[in-house]
Structures are given as structure tokens and as C-alpha cells.
């Protein structure tokens, strides 16, 4: 695996690959890699001629400076895991490489409603930061396929919108969420949880599964309350528990029994904020694929 730190070097390398008619699969990450990330790299490897994974902890998408400061960093292990997964290139830029004119954002991305709800509401500026970094990375890598995780469902929708706004031809591939044995969605932030907290954080999956099991046409209030109670029992403090239309994240109070929907939860376990979601009913194929 090549480790490339400068965008001009990566650009030059990828031009050669394109000239050799290889397609480019790209997996952007913030490092502290786990099996969820690696499943994206694996899928990219199955479908692309060259796989590029980036590790860059993007300062502009953290609305909480403490979260940025405490974000786990495990570079040596990340390199080991990527090598094992047959990744071709690790792009490892520093902040100056991604933001040569500084991190102050000049471009505003018109995300509309998507930015006003859920993660957009609870993490002001977060999605602008996500768009800023993904836009820059796409300019550098110019991927044919972009591999992202359903775990960050709203982010998937934001990136889809971004690709339209910047007229990128890259195809989005949304990959399923990998979970710990107790159902907890794998996340770099889980590294900040104690064993006991990890166990209790499995309550998020329990709450989503409760909604899935009890979901029926009509008002959704009872399902939301039941899920909320399960979170409280596990000492999880919720920012939100909602059911929304899978297509556009419009939050619903009543389900017609037919529209494709998604349950989404954000909750704190101690100081660590976790998010997860479940498309309903569970057997409904992943959105967008």
C-alpha cells in the first residue's frame, strides 16, 4: 500500500491509473478504523480497479471542540488493517494540504431542509464542514465510486446532495452498518466507552429493534415512547428518537403502513454521543442501492 501525504502526488498517481483504464473507489474516513470502515474498503476492492482510503480528522465538522480533541487516533493500527484489506493507497493529508487557504469556510452549500433537522439541528455547522472536506477530497481523488456507511444516514443524503451541487459524476455506494455482538453500531467513538458503557450502549440497537418489532400503521407515538424508555433504562440520554420518511427525512407522526421509513436515534452514553438508525421494516433493502 502506498501512503501518500500530498494531493499533487496522489493526483499524479491516480492520473496514471485512469490512463490504464482503472476505476477508482474511494473510502473517506477519520481513522481509528474498525471492521465497519474495513467493510467499505473490502467492497471498494471488489468493485474498483484502485482503492483509495483517506484518513483525515476534519476540524471543520466538529461543532464540539472537546469531541475533536478527544477523537481517537490509532494510525499505526489503521495502516496495518488497511494493508491487510488490500487497500492500494492511504491518503494521509495534513490540514494545510486539505485547506491551503485556511479552515475558514467561504463556500456555503445549499442543503436546505436536510441541514435543519436531526444531526443538522443538534450539530450546527456540522454538515457544512462535511461538505467542505468531501468536496475537497473529491476534487483531489475524482473517484468513480464513493463508499459510505448507512450508519451516518443523514450524511449519506447530504453527500448525495453535495455530488449534485458540485456536478460530480461519482456514484454513491451506501454500505450496511456493522455492529458489535450486542448490536451497538461500530464507531471510532466507541473506543472512548468503558466495557460497561459499551454494554449499555447496546440499548440504542434494542430501542431501534423495539420500533421495528412494534411498527404498525397509525400514530408512531407509542413506538417512540417505548424506545425512549429502553434508552432511559440503559442510562442513555437521547438527543432524539424519531421516525422519518427514508426518502427525505421528513419526520412523521402517523405511518400509512406503506411509505419506506427509518427510525433514527442520537444518544449520549456518558460524554460520548452516538448515532444509529434502522430502515423499517428491517427487511427493506438499503436506501439508494
The CA distance from 177 to 188, in Å, is 13
Question: Which residues share a beta bridge with 27?
Answer: 53
Q: Cα–Cα–Cα angle for 43, 246, 63, nearest 5°?
A: 80
| Residue 147 near residue 43, CB atoms below 8 Å | yes
The CA distance from 131 to 58, in Å, is 11
Is the CB of 224 or the CB of 279 nearer to ligand AMP? 279
Q: How far is the CB of 245 from ligand AMP (least distance, A)?
A: 20
Name the one range near ligand AMP by CB under 6 A: 45-53, 101-109, 147-155, 254-262.
Answer: 147-155
* 173 interacts with ligand AMP by CB under 6 A: no
| Residues whose CB falls within 8 Å of the CB of residue 50, separated by 6 or more in sequence, listed in order | 14, 17, 22, 23, 24, 25, 88, 89
Helices and strands in the chain: count of H runs, count of E runs: 11, 11
Name the one range near ligand AMP by CB under 6 A: 4-12, 102-110, 183-191, 213-221.
Answer: 183-191
Distance of CA 202 to the CA centre of its chain: 19
The CA distance from 107 to 30, in Å, is 22
Binding positions for ligand AMP, 185-224, rule CB under 6 A: 185-188
The CA distance from 231 to 241, in Å, is 10
Active site residue 37: yes
Binding positions for ligand AMP, 11-30, rule CB under 6 A: 29-30
| Residue 89 near residue 53, CB atoms below 8 Å | yes
* 151 interacts with ligand AMP by CB under 6 A: yes
* 261 interacts with ligand AMP by CB under 6 A: no
Q: How far is the CB of 223 from ligand AMP (least distance, A)?
A: 24
Angle between helices 7-19 and 126-141 (to 10 degrees): 50
Q: Which of 7, 10, 24, 39 binds ligand AMP (CB under 6 A)?
A: 39
The CA distance from 239 to 260, in Å, is 23
Binding footprint of ligand AMP, residue count (CB under 6 A): 17
Q: How many CA atoms lie within 13 A of 101 on its CB side?
A: 6
Pick the catalytic residue from 34, 37, 126, 135.
37
Angle between helices 153-165 and 126-141 (to 10 degrees): 60
Name the one range near ligand AMP by CB under 6 A: 33-41, 89-97, 103-111, 247-255.
Answer: 33-41
Is the CB of 130 or the CB of 220 nearer to ligand AMP? 130
Is the CB of 137 or the CB of 223 nearer to ligand AMP? 137
* 241 interacts with ligand AMP by CB under 6 A: no
Q: Which of 131, 175, 184, 269 binds ligand AMP (CB under 6 A)?
A: 175
Is the CB of 18 or the CB of 171 nearer to ligand AMP? 171
Q: How far is the CB of 22 from ligand AMP (least distance, A)?
A: 22
Catalytic residues: 37
Residues that bind ligand AMP (CB under 6 A): 29-30, 36-37, 39-40, 148-149, 151-152, 175, 177-178, 185-188
Amino acid at each position: 500500500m502506498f501512503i501518500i501525504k500530498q494531493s499533487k502526488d496522489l493526483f499524479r498517481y491516480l492520473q496514471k491509473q485512469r490512463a490504464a483504464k482503472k476505476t477508482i473507489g474511494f473510502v473517506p474516513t477519520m481513522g481509528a478504523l474498525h471492521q465497519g470502515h474495513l467493510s467499505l474498503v473490502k467492497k471498494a476492492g471488489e468493485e474498483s480497479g484502485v482503492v483509495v482510503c483517506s484518513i483525515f480528522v476534519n476540524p471543520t465538522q466538529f461543532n464540539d471542540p472537546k469531541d475533536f480533541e478527544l477523537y481517537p487516533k490509532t494510525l499505526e493500527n489503521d495502516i496495518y488493517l488497511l494493508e491487510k484489506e488490500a487497500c492500494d493507497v492511504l491518503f494521509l493529508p495534513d490540514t494545510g494540504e486539505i485547506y491551503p487557504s485556511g479552515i475558514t469556510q467561504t463556500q456555503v452549500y445549499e442543503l436546505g431542509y436536510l441541514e435543519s433537522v436531526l444531526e443538522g439541528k443538534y450539530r450546527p455547522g456540522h454538515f457544512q464542514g462535511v461538505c467542505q472536506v468531501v468536496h475537497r477530497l473529491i476534487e483531489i481523488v475524482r473517484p468513480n465510486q464513493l463508499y459510505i456507511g448507512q450508519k451516518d444516514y443523514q450524511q449519506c443524503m447530504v453527500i448525495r446532495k453535495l455530488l449534485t451541487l458540485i456536478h460530480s459524476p461519482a456514484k454513491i455506494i451506501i454500505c450496511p452498518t456493522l455492529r458489535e455482538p450486542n448490536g451497538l453500531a461500530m464507531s471510532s467513538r466507541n473506543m472512548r466507552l468503558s466495557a460497561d458503557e459499551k454494554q449499555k450502549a447496546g440499548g440504542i440497537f434494542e430501542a431501534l429493534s423495539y420500533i421495528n418489532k412494534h411498527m404498525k400503521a397509525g400514530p408512531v407515538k407509542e413506538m417512540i415512547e417505548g424506545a425512549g424508555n429502553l434508552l432511559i433504562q440503559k442510562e442513555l440520554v437521547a438527543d432524539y428518537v424519531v421516525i422519518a420518511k427514508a426518502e427525505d427525512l421528513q419526520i412523521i407522526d402517523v405511518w400509512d403502513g406503506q411509505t419506506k421509513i427509518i427510525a433514527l436515534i442520537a444518544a449520549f452514553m456518558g460524554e460520548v454521543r452516538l448515532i444509529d438508525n434502522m430502515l423499517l421494516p428491517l427487511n427493506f433493502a438499503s436506501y439508494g442501492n
